[in-house]
């Protein structure tokens, strides 16, 4: 079946690229927070630095909600981009 072909052939071939992309995204996101911590002035709080500060103190439902919304927006944008750019036929 198509699912078995994807699971046994395509996914193992894609797995190294997927893992490398996840690691690269993680490293880049850490860099963004560190740069923002050094550049911002007192009293300023960007969303990443606010979330980092809250995670250091206590993980609240507010942080969970923000993370869920960011994940949902990302998935919707990627899905819509995929649907708009795929070839017809």
Cα(49)–Cα(41) distance, rounded to whole angstroms? 12
**Confidence band for 8, pLDDT divided at 50, 70 and 90:** very high
* pLDDT at residue 5, as a whole number: 93
Domain that holds residue 70: 2-85
**Confidence band for 89, pLDDT divided at 50, 70 and 90:** low
Cα(65)–Cα(73) distance, rounded to whole angstroms? 12
Q: Which two tokens stand for residue 67?
A: 């993370």
The total of structural domains in the chain comes to: 1
Return the closest-CA partner of residue 64 out of 75, 77, 76, 51. 51
Residues 6+ apart with CB under 8 A from 29: 48
pTM exceeds 0.75 for this model: no
* pLDDT at residue 70, as a whole number: 86
> 27 or 21, which is more confident?
21
Q: Which two tokens stand for residue 70?
A: 């960011």
* pLDDT at residue 76, as a whole number: 92
For range 27-53, the mean pLDDT: 78
């Amino acid at each position: 079946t198509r699912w078995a072909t994807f699971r046994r052939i395509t996914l193992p071939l894609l797995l190294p690229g997927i893992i490398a992309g996840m690691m690269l995204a993680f490293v880049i996101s850490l860099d963004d927070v560190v740069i923002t911590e050094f550049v911002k002035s007192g009293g300023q709080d960007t969303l990443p630095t606010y979330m980092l500060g809250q995670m250091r103190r206590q993980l609240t439902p507010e942080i969970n909600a923000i993370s869920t919304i960011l994940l949902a927006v990302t998935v919707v944008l990627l899905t819509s981009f995929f649907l708009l750019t795929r070839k017809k036929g």
